[in-house]
Structure 1
Amino acid sequence: MKRILFPTDFSETATNAFVHALEFAKMVDGELILLHSFELPVFDNQFVPENYMVIFESLQLSQFEMFKDEIPKLRAIAEERNLAQIKLSHRLMDGDLVYNIRTAIKEDKIDYVIMGTEGATGWAEFFYGSNTANVLTDIKVPLLSIPAQAIYKPIKTIGFTTRFRPKDKKALKEVIAIAKLAHAKVKCLYVKTSDSDVDKQTIKEWENDFAQEAVEFFVVSSDEVKETILDFVLYKDIDLLTMLTYKRGFFEGIFNPSLTKKFATSFEVPILSIHLKE
């Protein structure tokens, strides 16, 4: 059984992502570990109040009470979607969110992390200075990020960006395994720029290697890589986009407001980020 970590602050964005997490858990035969992380205040040593421990215990208690109140609401959502059979367990941790996620991944042997993204433009806020952006660079398991406005729908088409590297092939096999569980097809995109070094023979070898799978390959010649990926997602009806990089600068560029503006609300597509081992 797959173990899925779901960090939540119980916001509307997180609650929306919880629906996606439930459905993903059903698809991969998984269980959800809910993580609520909070940070206690830091006092200057010169001004530590006499009731220092009382303050900390009070804050911890308030976080616990909120956690205790919110969990039944999430269970109710699972019941409404006929997914009450999905196993839910919980972690309440104080400290830095990214550190806590890394700790939970190690201690709970996590296979996937699913998080909601913030902001009116979904991906834009997500990749600009948010906690989730930091998670991208710090964890080594697949991360499924859910934009705030992304309404759940069954996955029928998975987009996969590639540069036809050997390590990309391993990632594609992982994506195909997910696609089979979802009864979905995979559409692979290679953006061939003026300085691309991938030859036709390599592309043909990939097509032959995956000829028996529900996979299509698309090669688009363009020096506008980011815009081409966005167009691909929109016009190929991609339900889930797989990105094979944790380089934050790339994500910041591809999902900035100037690019996503022309797609408006129709471009709220979840991203599955897969860490590539060198």
Structure 2
Amino acid sequence: MKKILFPTDFSESANNAFVYALNLANALKAEIITLHVYEFPILDSNYIEVPLYQAEVYESLELSNFENYKSQIPVLRQIAGANGMEHIPISNVLLEGDLVNNVAQLVKDENIDYVVMGTHGASGFNAFFFGTVTADIMTGTSAFVIGIPEESKFEAISKIGFATAYNEEDKTALRKLIPLADAFDAVIECLHVQTSSEEVTGHSEWKQAFANNNINFHTIESNTIEESIIDFTEVHRIQLFALLNHKHGFWESLFHTSLTKKLAFHLKVPLLALHEK
């Protein structure tokens, strides 16, 4: 059975993303592991000099976090019930420490297939693209990571966008994306943004290689990749947009400031980061 890790801070944004996690689990016949991570504050040594008192403070904070965690679990169960997903197996984990490190370790220990998590508004989405929290998880784990914008409300996934430079790494990533599309009975809308200095190669070969799959291929001539992605997503009514998490090249060039600002305020669909291996 596939496994979906769902990190949550129990906010409205996280609860919104949980609906996506539930529907993904239903489509893939997967289980969900919810994760809540808390950190102890750094206590000022000028005020706390007695180790015993410091231990009591930490113990009190740990108990408070546990009680909050315990009270929020039924809320997730209620969300599952309200969406007809009571049958989805759900287990829950509470950990202390850094969120990114804990997610990376759980992905490794539990053989997690997908990580689904929400982002908070414009500032959260900026952080998402600048390389903190969600983006750090995207680049730091071997799982597929889906970031859900706060404004995005789940609707049946019938179209998945995929950006490509028509290279071998992208071809491998597309093959990994196909089972997800098939699970939702969705078509993949494959997009290549051709800049004025680029000569497109591989288009015909790709069409032939994926002739038996439900994939459409599109090429847009433009020097503004970010605007082309945004326009393409809106025009084709894409419900999920996927990118290969290149360590270098296309993905890296994508995360410059101008693109970040545009996507932060205009791209309203979930973003799926695929890994290379």
**TM-score normalized by structure 2?**
0.91
Q: Distance in 1 between matches of 2:132 and 2:92?
A: 23
User: What SS does structure 2 have at the residue aligned with 1:53?
Assistant: helix
Alignment correspondent of 2:36: 36
d(CA) in 1 for partners of 2:98, 2:264: 30
Contact 2:127 2:133 in 1 (8 A): no
Partner of 2:128: 126
**TM-superposed deviation, 1:126:** 2.8
**1:216: which partner in 2?**
216
Q: Secondary structure at the match of 1:256?
A: helix
Q: What letter corresponds to residue 251 of structure 1 in structure 2?
A: F
Distance 1:94 1:233 in 2: 38
Matches of 1:255 and 1:195 in 2, distance apart? Answer: 20
* Rounded Cα–Cα distance in structure 2 between residues aligned with 1:87 and 1:248: 36
Which 10-residue stretch deviates more, 79-88 or 7-16? Answer: 79-88
1:250 and 2:254 matched? yes
Residue pair 2:226, 2:262 contacting (<8 A) in 1 also: no
Partner residue of 1:18?
18
Aligned partner of residue 73 in structure 1, secondary structure: helix
Q: Could you tell me how far 1:190 is from its partner in structure 2?
A: 0.6
2:105 paired residue number = 103
Q: 1:136 touches 1:248 (CA, 8 Å); kept in 2?
A: no
Pairs within 5 Å for 1:194-273: 194-199=196-201, 202-245=202-245, 247=251, 250-251=254-255, 253=257, 255-258=259-262, 261=265, 263=266, 267-273=267-273
Q: Structure 1 stretches of 5 or more lacking a match?
A: none
Q: Work out the CA distance in 1 between the residues paired with 2:256 and 2:214.
A: 31
Provide closer, same or farther for how the CA distance between residues 258 and 33 of structure 1 changes in structure 2, counting only shifts above 3 A: closer
| Distance change (3 Å), C-alpha of 1:259 and 1:134 | closer
Find the residue that maps to 1:68 and give its secondary structure. helix
- Secondary structure class of the residue paired with 1:216: strand
Look up the match of 1:6.
6
Q: Deviations over 1:157-188 (max 9, x none)?
A: 00000011111111111111111110110110
Mapping for residues 96-175 of structure 1, pairs under 5 Å: 96-120=98-122, 123-128=125-130, 130-175=132-177
Q: Which runs of 5+ in 2 are unaligned?
A: none
Report the Cα offset of residue 259 of structure 1.
5.7
Q: Residue 157 of structure 2 contacts residue 186 of structure 2 at CA under 8 Å; is this kept in 1? A: yes
Instruction: Check the 8 A contact 2:191/2:220 in 1, yes or no.
Output: yes
Q: CA deviation at 1:194?
A: 2.2
What is the rounded CA distance, in whole Å, between the counterparts of 1:98 and 1:144 in structure 2? 14
- Using the size of structure 1 for normalisation, the TM-score is 0.91
Over 3 Å counting, the alpha-carbon distance change for 1:55 and 1:122 in structure 2 is closer
Deviation at 1:109, TM superposition (A): 1.3
The AA in structure 2 aligned to 1:168 is D
The CA deviation at 1:76 is: 1.0
How many Å separate the matches in 2 of 1:55 and 1:195?
61
| Aligned-partner SS, 1:217 | strand
Q: Judge conservation of contact 1:127–1:255 (CA < 8 Å) in 2.
A: no
CA distance in 2, matches of 1:212, 1:41: 55
Q: Per the alignment, do residues 191 and 101 of structure 1 end up closer, same or farther by CA in structure 2, a change over 3 Å counting?
A: same
Counterpart residue identity of residue 9, structure 2:
D
SS of residue in 1 equivalent to 2:198: coil
Q: 1:249 to 1:220 in 2, by over 3 A?
A: closer
Is 1:187–2:189 an aligned residue pair? yes
CA contact (8 A) 1:144 1:273 kept: yes
State the percentage of identical aligned residues: 39
Name whichever of 248-257 and 85-94 sits farther off.
248-257
Moved more, 116-125 or 82-91: 116-125
